[in-house]
Amino acid sequence: MKKDSTAAKPRPSRNDAQRQTILDAASLLFIEKGFGGTNFNDIADAVGVTRTALYYYFPSKETILEALTEDITEKAGKLAQTVSRRDQMPADEALRQLILRHAGLILSHPVQFRVVERSESDLPELRRAAAQNARRAVLDHFVAVIQRGIQSGLFRHTDAHVAAFSIIGMCNWCAWWFDDRGAMSADAVAASLADFALRALSAGEPLQAGGADPLQAAVDQIRDALGVLEKQIKPATRRASAAIGSSPK
């Protein structure tokens, strides 16, 4: 009998759901009070459990931060690897899948991503090194796919590293402005980001007028498109024009 492709995914176990509740609560506290300013009691109180109950899931706030890092940074590296190694996939489709997966991960965990970005220095040395390696791996996978697209003629001739940094930065910035209560869903935003990036890199797309440098033209197109998207998601917010192109602090 043919399986129903629309069958519901298995629900997370009670332990998994409680673990995620703890991570979500800790993330909000780390953003509000900073990692150093948050203690274990704060997290237990926010979740509504005792310290003893919290110990069942995490022995310390440091292990919570490690779990957040593994869930976000290291998972991003693994997701990128599953796409970039499919050499049979056309480069434009591979890049689309890379963006959908990377942006999708961030859009589904925006607060956690912000915590990881801000608190990496608080990680133990080995975990910090693992996080940095995962980030480099994500960049390498994006660069490899973009270079393959340039070599095949699908993408315009440009610096693959700068293009990859621009696209990854565009995805990462979503953690600071995306609102899941807005008009567009996370999936729709991720798809729009992929469209913007592919349009900017496509060998068939006209460049900005005046014979501008191809790389700068591509980056400018991505920035302009991202600014339009942010205004669509949060019309009342005017941070994009000042913040796009700069790293969040």
Query: What domains sit in the chain, N to C, each tagged with a CATH number?
Result: 13-59 (1.10.10.60), 64-243 (1.10.357.10)
Q: Are 99 and 193 in contact (CB under 8 A)?
A: yes
Residues written for the chain: 249
The pLDDT-based confidence of 242 (bands split at 50, 70, 90) is very low
DSSP state of 35: S
One-letter amino acid at 177 equals W
The overall average pLDDT reported for the chain is 80
Which pLDDT score, from 0 to 100, does residue 199 have?
93
Return all residues near 83 (Cβ < 8 A) that are at least 6 apart. 89, 94, 97, 98, 101, 141, 145
Which pLDDT score, from 0 to 100, does residue 225 have?
52
Which ranges in the chain belong to alpha helices (H)? 14-33, 40-47, 51-57, 61-69, 75-84, 91-108, 110-119, 125-152, 160-177, 186-201, 214-233, 240-243
**C-alpha 151: how far from chain center:** 27
DSSP state of 183: S
pLDDT 10s digits, 38-72: 999 999 999 999 999 999 999 999 999 999 988 88
The pLDDT-based confidence of 4 (bands split at 50, 70, 90) is very low
Distances (CA, A) of 108 to 72, 100, 103, 126, 148: 10, 12, 8, 26, 29
Q: What is the dihedral of CA 63, 172, 76, 146, to 10 degrees?
A: -160
Burial of 135 (0-12, 13-18, 19+ CB in 10 A): middle
Instruction: Give the pLDDT mean for 98-114.
Output: 92
pLDDT 10s digits, 134-156: 889 999 999 999 999 999 999 99
